[in-house]
């Protein structure tokens, strides 16, 4: 990041633009959920928003390699956590007497 | 001590130290929230299945969540703008934007506070057939009449039940023993209190100990005599023979009095909120200190009362056709006898309503030109529920699909527009007999796993908002000194605070759709 006043003012414009995009995405999330509730679309928009925050606001687009090294492991294990529930899904508790639907 | 590389990058990492620090910290935060999101997934995917537990849907106000999302996103923009103002060496503008961020955080937390408060005032009842009704204005007053017999667990007694005796407290007599005809032999009348019970315990234990020691002495001498006679080869009496088998045991506190049975001089009644009791049965009641009272439930408090229900969830109901045969329909529209009796509204339950500031429904009922008829309201609630159910079924049929089970039997019953465009709204009470109440609670983590994970996730996130805002406020208020000394250092500090703030925003970006929209 260059620290010249011109560059800073340019960054400022960029941040506002991203801010507006994020606000727009939020409205979109609510509208989509209202029209056609879909977990995939909802989480998809959330991921795009989170990506924008991380890449632009948290300057990940312009970071040193050490940070990426730290984050790659974190992301890997955090995503791994989300699949733990599969263990229960594929080995469920069986209760034959309960009502099925 | 001088901390190195606060401004200049460290040669080996290429970064100033605090930046490495905050990213490592954020990485650990990702794992912390990741674990909770994983728990959320597990609970959500595990619900609605074989276990008779169904995920509550549509129970959070999207409006609140939406506004809070906008506020956090705006605050994220304000943070970077504030940071850039520092880079432009303009401290006053930095302070302005930073204070806006803190204001955003404050609005977010106040909003959250309202949302939490609404949950604390909102109640759910699970009936014995697993139907669930939700609503406001709970009255769990329970009254027992004709109480004469009281049993006390001596070690645990704390005199709590005496606080709930209605009117004058009676005197009690201890049941000492029973005579030949089986009639109780009673002690002197006493004013019951914790201290009095301790005195009785001491006295009784003293007597028991003396008795025990006297018996020991007697048996010891008999045993000695018997053994002497045995050695001499002389015959021994039966009494002496039994003494030979007798084990001399020293006095132990556990041998003391455990229970006291008392009889009141006259019948009395107690009135209490059910949640303060340990157990309640039709003919007896048990307090948390194990004090047990024999009496009958008053006809004035036959069950648990909700003043206005707003949702009926029949997904887990044990019936082939819950939409017609659920217990909810049986009890809907029943008024609390205690409430109708005390027209001045002085019952304990009413006080509870006042405490939670709930008068919306009464107000609404007054505003309506037609008088509030509970049975009529119950009919309307049923009509709304069935109407909404029909809507879901029709919609699915139109798409040539089978209606989702979860969406057909769980509806808010406050409002519905029928085919003729007539708007129905209902404010029906319900009175569930105590025997048919499986459990009841306000919407706190104990009510179900949804609220457990909801409060854990949003509570932890809220704490992050609070602490982040405090740090940013500190920069805005006390940052001038460092800024004057070394503006670059100050900018780096704000960048670190800002990174944390963006992370807080990032977590909320996922929380909003997951908790509010799905």
Residues B116/B454, Cβ–Cβ less than 8 Å: no
CB distance from A60 to chain B under 8 Å? no
What does each C-alpha distance from A63 to A1, A2, A56, B13 come to in angstroms? 9, 13, 11, 11
Interface contact B51-A45, CB threshold 8 A: no
A23 → closest Cβ in B73, B88, B505: B73
Predicted local distance difference test score (pLDDT) of residue B358: 45
B87 → closest Cβ in A8, A45, A53: A8
CA distance B53 to B508: 27
CB distance from B31 to chain A under 8 Å? yes
Indicate if the pLDDT at residue B375 is higher than 80: yes
Contacts of B430 by beta carbon, 8 Å cutoff, 6+ apart? B125, B133, B135, B305, B306, B309, B328, B331, B332, B333, B334, B378
| Min Cα–Cα distance to chain B from A17, Å | 9
Nearest to B24 by CA among A12, A87, A70: A70
CB distance from B318 to chain A under 8 Å? yes
CB distance from A29 to chain B under 8 Å? yes
Predicted local distance difference test score (pLDDT) of residue B288: 93
Count the alpha carbons within 13 Å of B337 in the hemisphere toward its beta carbon.
11
CA distance B356 to B353: 5
- Helical spans, DSSP H, in B348-448: 348-355, 360-367, 374-398, 405-408
CA distance B139 to B269: 18
B509 → closest Cβ in A49, A78, A81: A49
A74 → closest Cβ in B31, B499, B505: B31
Compute the average pLDDT of residues B356-378: 62
| Min Cα–Cα distance to chain A from B119, Å | 22
Interface contact A66-B14, CB threshold 8 A: yes
The per-residue pLDDT for range B271-289, each reduced to its tens digit, is 999 999 999 998 999 999 9
Predicted local distance difference test score (pLDDT) of residue B345: 47
Interface contact B73-A33, CB threshold 8 A: no
CA distance B95 to B31: 33
Quote the ipTM score.
0.91
CB distance from B81 to chain A under 8 Å? yes
CB distance from B30 to chain A under 8 Å? yes
Predicted local distance difference test score (pLDDT) of residue A1: 52
CB distance from A45 to chain B under 8 Å? yes
CA distance B200 to B204: 6
Assessment of whether the complete model's pTM goes beyond 0.95: no
Residue recorded with tokens 């979860």? B406
Mutate to test the interface with A, among B21, B33, B80 (most CBs of A within 10 A): B80
Indicate if the pLDDT at residue B192 is higher than 70: yes
The per-residue pLDDT for range B42-96, each reduced to its tens digit, is 888 877 665 567 888 888 999 999 999 999 999 999 999 999 999 999 999 999 9
CB distance from A73 to chain B under 8 Å? yes
Mutate to test the interface with B, among A74, A76, A88, A97 (most CBs of B within 10 A): A74
Write down the CATH superfamily of domain B17-122+446-517: Cytochrome c oxidase, subunit III, four-helix bundle (1.20.120.80)
The per-residue pLDDT for range A19-55, each reduced to its tens digit, is 999 999 999 999 998 888 788 898 999 999 999 999 9
What chain B residue is nearest to A8 in terms of C-alpha separation? B84
- Helical spans, DSSP H, in B399-478: 405-408, 449-478
Tell me the average pLDDT of chain A: 87
What chain B residue is nearest to A52 in terms of C-alpha separation? B506
CA distance B292 to B153: 9
Nearest to B139 by CA among B312, B302, B353: B353
Tell me the average pLDDT of chain B: 88
Q: Where in chain B is the domain with CATH 1.20.120.80?
A: 17-122+446-517
CA distance B98 to A16: 16
Find the distance separating the first CA and the last CA of chain A, reported in whole Å. 58
Residues B16/B10, Cβ–Cβ less than 8 Å: yes
Nearest to B148 by CA among B180, B184, B181, B177: B184
In chain A, where the domains are located: 5-89
Interface contact B41-A82, CB threshold 8 A: yes
> What are A84's two structure tokens?
């733990």
What chain A residue is nearest to B88 in terms of C-alpha separation? A5
CA distance B450 to B443: 10
Residues B24/A70, Cβ–Cβ less than 8 Å: yes
Predicted local distance difference test score (pLDDT) of residue A101: 42
């Amino acid at each position: 990041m260059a620290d010249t006043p011109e560059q800073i003012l340019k960054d400022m414009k960029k941040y506002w633009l991203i801010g507006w995009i994020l606000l727009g995405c939020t409205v979109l999330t609510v509208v989509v959920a209202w029209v056609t509730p879909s977990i995939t679309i909802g989480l998809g928009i959330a991921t795009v928003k989170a990506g924008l925050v991380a890449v632009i606001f948290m300057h990940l687009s312009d970071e040193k390699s050490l940070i990426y090294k730290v984050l790659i492991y974190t992301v890997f294990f955090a995503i791994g956590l989300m699949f733990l529930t599969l263990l229960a899904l594929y080995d469920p508790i069986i209760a034959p007497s309960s009502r099925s639907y | 001590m001088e901390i190195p590389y606060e401004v200049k990058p460290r040669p080996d990492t290429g970064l100033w130290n605090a930046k490495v620090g905050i990213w490592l910290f954020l990485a650990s935060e990702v794992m912390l929230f990741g674990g909770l999101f994983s728990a959320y997934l597990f609970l959500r995917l595990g619900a609605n299945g074989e276990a008779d537990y169904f995920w509550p849907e549509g129970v959070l106000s999207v409006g609140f969540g939406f506004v809070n999302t906008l506020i956090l996103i705006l605050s994220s923009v304000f943070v970077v703008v504030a940071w850039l103002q520092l880079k432009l060496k303009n401290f006053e503008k930095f302070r302005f934007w930073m204070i806006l961020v803190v204001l955003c955080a404050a609005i977010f937390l106040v909003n959250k506070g309202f949302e939490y408060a609404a949950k604390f005032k909102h109640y759910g009842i699970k009936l014995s057939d697993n139907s669930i009704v939700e609503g406001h204005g709970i009255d769990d007053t329970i009254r027992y009449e004709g109480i004469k017999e009281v049993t006390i667990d001596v070690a645990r007694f704390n005199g709590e039940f005496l606080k709930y005796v209605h009117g004058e407290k009676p005197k009690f007599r201890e049941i000492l023993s029973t005579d030949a005809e089986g009639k109780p032999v009673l002690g002197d009348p006493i004013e019951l209190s914790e201290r009095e019970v301790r005195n009785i315990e001491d006295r009784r234990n003293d007597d028991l100990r003396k008795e025990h020691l006297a018996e020991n002495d007697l048996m010891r001498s008999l045993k000695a005599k018997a053994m002497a006679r045995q050695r001499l080869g002389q015959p021994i009496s039966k009494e002496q023979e039994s003494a030979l088998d007798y084990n001399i045991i020293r006095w132990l506190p556990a041998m003391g009095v455990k229970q006291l049975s008392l009889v009141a001089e006259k019948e009395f009644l107690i009135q209490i909120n059910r949640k303060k009791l340990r157990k309640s049965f039709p003919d007896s009641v048990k307090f948390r200190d194990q004090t047990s009272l024999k009496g009958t439930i008053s006809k004035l408090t036959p069950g648990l009362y909700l003043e206005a229900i707003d949702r009926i969830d029949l997904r887990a109901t044990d019936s082939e056709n819950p939409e017609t045969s659920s217990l909810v329909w049986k009890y809907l529209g029943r008024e609390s006898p205690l409430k109708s009796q005390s027209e001045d509204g002085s019952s304990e339950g009413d006080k509870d309503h006042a405490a939670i500031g709930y008068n919306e429904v009464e107000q609404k009922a007054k505003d309506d030109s037609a008088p509030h008829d509970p049975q009529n309201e119950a009919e309307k609630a049923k009509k709304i529920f069935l109407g909404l159910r029909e809507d879901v079924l029709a919609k699915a049929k139109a798409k040539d699909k089978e209606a989702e089970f979860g969406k057909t039997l769980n509806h808010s019953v406050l409002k519905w527009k029928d085919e003729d465009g007539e708007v129905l709204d209902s404010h029906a009470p319900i009175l569930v007999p105590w025997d048919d109440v499986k459990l009841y609670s306000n919407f706190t983590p104990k009510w179900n796993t949804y609220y457990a994970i909801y409060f854990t996730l949003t509570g932890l996130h809220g704490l992050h908002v609070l602490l982040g805002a405090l740090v940013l406020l500190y920069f805005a208020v006390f940052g001038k000194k460092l800024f004057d000394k070394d503006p670059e250092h100050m900018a780096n500090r704000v960048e670190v605070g800002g990174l944390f703030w963006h992370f807080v925003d990032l977590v909320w970006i996922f929380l909003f759709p997951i908790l509010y929209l799905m």
